[in-house]
Structure 1
Amino acid sequence: MVNKKTLTKSIMFIIIASLVFFIFTKDDDSENDESQYGNGSATTQQKSNTSKEELTPQSMSNETEEMDNIPEVRAKQVDTTQEEIDGHKYLLENDKYEMYFKEENLSIIMRDKTTGAVMYSTVENPVESNQEWKNFMKSAVVMEYLVGTNIVTYRADMYSENPTKEVVYKNDGFVAKVTYPGLEISYQLEVTLTDSGIVVEIPQDKIVENSDKFKVSGFYVYPFLGYSKLDNRDGYMFIPDGSGALIYLEDNDGKYKQPYSEMVYGNNPGVDESYVLSLFHRMNPFNETEKILAPVFGMVQTDTQMGYLGIIEEGQYSAKIEAYPNGAILPYNWITSKFIYRQVYNQPTSKDSGTMVVRQKSKNDFNIKVRYQFVSKDEADYVGLAQVYRDYLLETDQIVEQEDQFKARVDLFGADVENGLIFKKDVPMTTFAQASSIYGDLQENGVDQILSIYKGWQNGGYYAGLPIQSFDPESSLDDEMELKELLNESKERNIDLFLYHDALRINMEELGNTRYKVMKKFNKRTYEEGVYGKAYQYLNYLNPESTVEILKEVEDTYKNNGTENVMISGISNKLFSYSERSKEFDRIATKERYESIISEYDQNFNLMLEQPFSYLWKYSNAIIDLPTQSSDYIFTDEDIPFIALTLKGIVPMYAEYINFQANQVEFFLKMVEQGLNPSFYITNEDPADLLNTNSSDIYSSKYERYKKMIQDYYGKLKQVNEVTEDSVIEDYVRTNGVTKVSYSNGATIYVNYQENDVIVDGQTIKALSYKVVQD
């Protein structure tokens, strides 16, 4: 007879052994179990929408954590024309470049005929990784797709999902139709060789979806063009973050786990979930990251003096720029544009709680078109990329060349409100008479050329007076002088005085009922912008139709009251998708409405736009609030003034406010280096009066404190401008804390950021100073 204790132990042993066997075989079984939707794996729109990264390392195999350090053996230069390079057959050429093509995966190799340098678009022999990533690295195009209402995004490349390819060759390139029979999806890739590089397109009308279950989510187009492995190449990736930044092609020893991944022209509040990390005394203590102001990116391989600037010509309003330094999933450096046709989002199912994930009804309305402008020899650096972009903007009439006028920007803050015992209380900071006195004092002390933007001039002040519906000045500012008088006086004094108009925001707490519509997100919920102030916690965005309606109404009242100069904010650097009744409108629809009314204002007024996106640059008399640095992500190695290098000498540029810079000496040197005009934010009264308003972030602005600084900066920067006026930057070299900027008229500016004097080119530049040398 079996002992009861022995039987119990035996049963327990069997249970534990079975449990251990189940745990250790579960993962293997799940990896070997093919998806019912094919071999495409989930990439990231993971089960949590809080992650910024779409291709999460967590969703990939851990095999890549042990990176293969064997150098990649691919020719960096090929001296003569070949019949074939790495399995790519010679296809065609022009005066500058040869294109080699591999039909299997639509891969291309570009060869510079002058230098022999070659650039690859796919990885021939990927390092050990899971099969999905191997296919990704070997593919010219990767399509992402959604399955029903599943929140997971799947991928189909040149190898997975059994694609068929039909290639038609042209005199200047090729056209390839790619079909996924199992998904009932097809698209057309068009590649054209140009005098300066290649143009890659996927026309929207060639994207065919014959299934209700499978829908296109997005595309990567030649994501590995110009890639490198670890530190096998010298050079860098250029990302358009703020002023611009570089990511070096060096071995990162696996320390970076996340890539750079940002929407061109900022995030999309109509779909993306907004959040604040934490509040401090009911206020947001965090600054926003810098936006992408222009749809460009680049790769430069300095060891062979070959690189490219990628310019997104179509689809930029629904595109991301993604840059992966080695270690972020793979041991490769690669940069690309990603195009988004559909997203999933959380749809509330009740007023109080409960949500369900739904798929965007129709795909966003755009073609994909990316122009790759190649650079070589001495032009193969970020200065060369900026010059390429400048020429492109001028040739395509996307910017209007203007006189490079130097002015001091002295913006004034009018009024705000604070909470009273029962009602809101006006807090006037700079009356119209005080504004006149400030302008007069500046001009008497040598600051004769002034550009000024008057903020918070309207009835209710800066926050309570939103939206601005007419020319109706705030009465508490109307002491000894009316606004109309100030406008006329400023014109006589040759002061460019602009009235600030936020065309995006509406304060529903003040308006209550209104005939204007507010913006609703795709999930039909009203969007609320958290401002977390002392008087108001939230503002709303106007529906684009309402924005246009208001601006048309205000236009006549501006004209009737002698207003010639208008500065528009809000819609100049914000784009979003939105819903109206049962319809969904993408960011392109918003852009078209904004651009139409901005174009009209440009014809009828002297127009300024606040830190405008590049598609609006041609409408603004100047570029203001130009960022002088990037967001300082951990994986960036160097900030560069890409936008300043592009626009200096073409259009006047104004820096962000000097008042709020932590290191004003360094910031001044950056203005000298980048050719920026100075900007100050001024009040007549002490900013301590704003403590209980929504404008409490204006903590240093009193005119008496800054009058001497304005005069000093104006005098020094004006002298620099007189030497560089209407000249573009031809070269920019930064070495050991000293920058040398060379202009097209022969002028050279040396800027020394070190705390000791230095000698460069025989010139002595004092510590924390600069020197201008004329040819």
Structure 2
Amino acid sequence: MAKAKFFFGRVVLLAVLVFSLGVQPLQAMRLPDAYSTNQYTHVDTLRTDWQIRQDIPESYRMVAENETFRLFVDFERLAFKVVDRRSGYVWHSNLDEVTRDDRLNKTWTAFAQSGISIDYLDQKATPKRASITNAKHTLEVSPVAQGVEALVTFTDPGITIGVNLILEEDGVRVEIPFDRIRQDRAEFKLGMLYVYPFFAATRRDEVPGYMFLPDGAGALIRFSAQTKAKNMFYGRVYGADLGMSTRMAFDPDLRRPFRVSVPVIGMVHGYHQNAYLAVLERGAGYAEIQAHPAGIITSFNFLHYAFIYN
């Protein structure tokens, strides 16, 4: 209980800071000569002919606004959209539509279209995934000041998750309070919690940009049509927890990667155009960063936190 309470105790899981890298209309810019030195791995070519879906379906309702943003929420899927009033750019928390070319099966489609997904464990510790759009559930969503308060119960495992979405001056805050997580069936336990895993996801290289990872000094994964990566990136924030894994194998020939030492991830959509940071304010000790470049499992670039509960 202490470990779980540390993870979720008055927890503020995710603060999505949405901002514009220049709020002027999209236009080509010449990069300074300094960026052409070998200190940089690639010279960014600015593209202004790209397009990404910017409409807001009728299923979304505006629940909050301030001088900088408008927040829209789909009460059926707990999805949300943020409109940056400075540039007009729309950020999507989920996929609204999928195509055959997206390489998403039913489980991945539900994962991409649901605000909240969980992996739960049975008595043999076998994990099974449940998402809002593919699992039996009840969902209660109530408007509150500058946002909504929701309670989703996955019926089969009897697991309940409470979620708060609050619009603030510099972005959107997502909260999962400890006292609103329940496990009502003794034979099932909450294993992993996924909170908006497809926020800002992009298809292949339709959007020029990259994912930012706090790996050591920092790393960037560029969006491309054919990724050269062979694996996803999985990193425990602050390194492995030996209290959970019980041991760490020693191999003198293995050089271990840098620890993820800062709980911050983000994406850029269009060089010098639009970007966001997702700052983990509480629960980082039990968080994992997962980055999926397009072409490995799906056709999407997506980046998110996963929270280890059991």
Letter of the structure 1 residue corresponding to residue 122 of structure 2 = V
What is the CA–CA distance in structure 1 between the aligned matches of 2:51 and 2:298, rounded to whole Å?
A: 17
Structure 1 position 157 matched with structure 2 position 131: yes
8 Å CA contact 2:103, 2:299 repeated in 1: no
Q: Aligned match of 2:256 in 278, 284, 288?
A: 288
Number of the residue aligned with 1:329? 297
Name the counterpart of 1:75. Answer: 53
Residues 234-313 of structure 1: pairs in structure 2 closer than 5 A: 234-253=208-227, 255-272=228-245, 273-277=247-251, 284-302=252-270, 305-313=273-281
- Aligned twin of 2:284: 316
Amino acid paired to 1:124:
D
Structure 1 133/86 Cα, relative in aligned 2: closer, same or farther at 3 Å?
farther
Task: Give the Cα–Cα distance (whole angstroms) in 2 for the partners of residues 86 and 304 of structure 1.
Answer: 31
Shift of 1:257: 4.0
Q: Per-residue deviation at 1:197?
A: 0.2
The aligned counterpart of 2:93 is 121
Secondary structure at the residue paired with 1:314? coil
From 195, 215, 233, the counterpart of 2:207:
233
**How far apart are 1:88 and its partner, in Å?**
2.1
1:210, distance to aligned residue in structure 2 (A): 1.2
Deviation at 1:292, TM superposition (A): 1.0
| Distance in 2 between residues matched to 1:99 and 1:258, nearest whole Å | 34
Rate the CA distance shift 1:304–1:117 in 2: closer, same or farther, 3 A. farther
Task: Tell me the amino acid that sits aligned with residue 212 of structure 1.
Answer: A
CA–CA distance in 2 between the matches of 1:156 and 1:304?
Answer: 37
Q: Which residue of 2 aligns with 1:650?
A: none
Q: Which structure has the higher relative contact order (CA within 8 Å, separation 6+)?
A: 2
Alpha-carbon distance in structure 2 between the residues aligned to 1:145 and 1:226: 26
Matched-pair contact (CA < 8 Å) for 2:63–2:148? no
Give the alignment partner of residue 202 of structure 1, picking from 160, 170, 176: 176
* 1:86 Cα deviation from its structure 2 partner: 6.2
- Give the Cα separation in 1 of the matches to 2:61 and 2:52: 16
> Could you tell me how far apart the structure 2 residues matched to 1:288 and 1:183 are?
37
Are 1:103 and 2:75 matched, yes or no?
A: yes
Q: Sort the Cα spacing of 1:258 and 1:269 in 2 relative to 1 into closer, same or farther, 3 A.
A: same
SS in 2 for 1:270: helix
Give the conservation status (yes or no) of the 8 Å contact 2:82–2:90. yes
Mapped contact 1:135–1:159 kept (Cα < 8 A): yes
Matching of residues 84-483 of structure 1 within 5 Å: 84-85=56-57, 87-126=59-98, 127-150=102-125, 152-253=126-227, 255-272=228-245, 273-277=247-251, 284-302=252-270, 305-342=273-310
1:400-457: CA deviation from partner (whole Å, max 9, x where unpaired)? xxxxxxxxxxxxxxxxxxxxxxxxxxxxxxxxxxxxxxxxxxxxxxxxxxxxxxxxxx
Aligned partners of 1:256 and 1:326 also within 8 Å: no
What is the CA–CA distance in structure 2 between the aligned matches of 1:274 and 1:159, rounded to whole Å? 37
| Structure ranking higher in helix proportion | 1
| Structure 2 CA distance for aligned equivalents of residues 285 and 185 of structure 1 | 43
Partner AA of 2:301 in structure 1: N
**Aligned-CA RMSD value:** 1.9
TM-score, normalised with respect to structure 1: 0.32
How far apart are 1:180 and its partner, in Å? 1.8
Judge conservation of contact 1:257–1:327 (CA < 8 Å) in 2: no
How many residue pairs are counted as aligned between the two chains?
A: 257
Aligned-pair identity (%): 30
SS in 2 for 1:135: helix
Cα distance in 2 between the residues matched to 1:191 and 1:240: 25
Unaligned runs of 5+ residues in structure 2 are 1-49
